[in-house]
Amino acid sequence: MKKIILDVDTGSDDAIAIMTAVLSPELDVLGICTVNGNRCVENTTENTLRVVEYIGSNVPVYKGCALPMVVSLTKGRRECVPFEGQKNKKEDVHGDYLPIPESTITYEKECAVSWLVKTLMDSDGDISLIDVGPLTNLAMAMRIQPGIIDKIDTLYIMGGGWREQNITPAAEFNFWIDPEAAKIVINSGCKIVMVPLDATHAGAISIKDAMELREESSPGAKLTAALIEQRLKGYNNWQPMQDQTTVPIHDALAVCAAIDMDVLADVRYIHVDVDAGGGICDGQSVCDVEHKDKEAEPNVHIALNANVGRFAELLKTTLKRTV
Ligand code: BDR
Ligand code: CA
């Protein structure tokens, strides 16, 4: 089994990602870190605990950063009341809380960032990270202890976009929420597999798959079916896909890539950087697909497409399982 740590801002697609990771026979989830993003960290942590308890898992949950590193310090750069900032556009896609019972379990006492530093430093370099929210926790950990960079086996990131964006004309949501964190992590030197919007939109899952999952008895399958339906409504209001019977489940694609890279397609090894300048391109991932900058070394394996058939199959097989 591949040892992994998840970093999430749960969220409907994060919830599906968590269930996929925990239920996969290929992955050994050591812990789940939460962060501000889709909702404030109180909500994303409660949602994470709900999912973990709902599927009967005992994976520990560590509460992480409540605010991005610095973006909210500059007046006017971001309306960065993390909760209010996204309320209008994204409430249908995620809701404030997941539609499952309130948690009765609690998160660990240690904060996510210090747990991450300790766990990676004590490891033999055999832990991979799957980060599907803003990269605040990991960037903080890298600043506190740069030694962790060489300890990360592979870092899978859901974030950024080459030709696809979703929160501003230039930026994807996770990178936009904390551009400095994204810049630190992308330029850190660790082995990165980036799963941007180009791949997650190409890997949009159909409502037919949700119907199939609804027929299954496992809690993971049932909740996923409900969340896909919720997401489909939200996306069709907010950002419809070309085929309006399909919807991206961004974060689950990054988890599936850690299980089987064949869910991704057109993977290139290129130079990526992140704009954190505070202007209209704030949070943009600048992906040098055509190798325009001859000086810049490749630093990211980026997927520009997805193998949606393989992704849907892997998702369905995994979510039918129980703990
Ligand atoms: C990302 O933004 C969040 O809303 C999703 O959970 C995903 O991680 C997609 O841009
Ligand atoms: Ca997310």
Mutation to probe ligand 1, out of 6, 8, 9 (largest number of atoms < 8 A from CB)? 9
List, in sequence order, every residue forming a beta bridge with 54; answer none if it has no partner.
Answer: none
Q: Residue 176 and residue 226: Cα distance in Å, rounded?
A: 28
Q: Is the CB of 250 under 6 A from ligand 1?
A: yes
Q: Could you say which ligand is closest to the alpha carbon of residue 173?
A: 1
Q: Is the CB of 172 under 6 A from ligand 1?
A: yes
Mutation to probe ligand 1, out of 132, 136, 168, 175 (largest number of atoms < 8 A from CB)? 132
DSSP single-letter state for residue 121: H
Q: Is the overall model pTM greater than 0.85, yes or no?
A: yes
Residue holding tokens 């033999």?
124
Closest CA to ligand 1's atom 4: 38
Averaged pLDDT in 10-residue chunks for the chain of 323 residues: 98 97 98 96 97 98 96 79 46 87 98 98 98 98 98 98 94 96 98 98 96 95 96 90 96 98 98 96 97 97 98 97 96
What pLDDT, on the 0 to 100 scale, is given for residue 248? 97
What pLDDT, on the 0 to 100 scale, is given for residue 184? 98
What pLDDT, on the 0 to 100 scale, is given for residue 204? 97
9 is catalytic: yes
What pLDDT, on the 0 to 100 scale, is given for residue 89? 52
Mutation to probe ligand 1, out of 20, 250, 285 (largest number of atoms < 8 A from CB)? 250
Q: Is the CB of 36 under 6 A from ligand 1?
A: no
Closest CA to ligand 1's atom 10: 173
For the chain, the first-to-last Cα distance in angstroms comes to: 15
What pLDDT, on the 0 to 100 scale, is given for residue 83? 41
Q: Is the CB of 174 under 6 A from ligand 1?
A: yes
**Count of H helices and E strands in the chain?**
13, 12
What pLDDT, on the 0 to 100 scale, is given for residue 90? 52
Question: How deeply is 92 buried, as exposed, middle or buried, from its count of CB atoms within 10 A (0-12, 13-18, 19+)?
Answer: middle
Amino acid at 203: G
Q: Is the CB of 131 under 6 A from ligand 1?
A: no
Q: Which residues of 275-284 are buried (b: 16+ CB within 10 A; e: fewer)?
A: bbeeeebbbb
Structural domains in the chain, sorted by start: 2-319 (3.90.245.10)
* Nearest ligand 1 atom to alpha carbon 38: 4
Q: Is the CB of 11 under 6 A from ligand 1?
A: yes
Contacts of 274 (CB under 8 A, 6+ apart): 160, 175, 179, 182, 183, 186, 283, 284, 285, 286
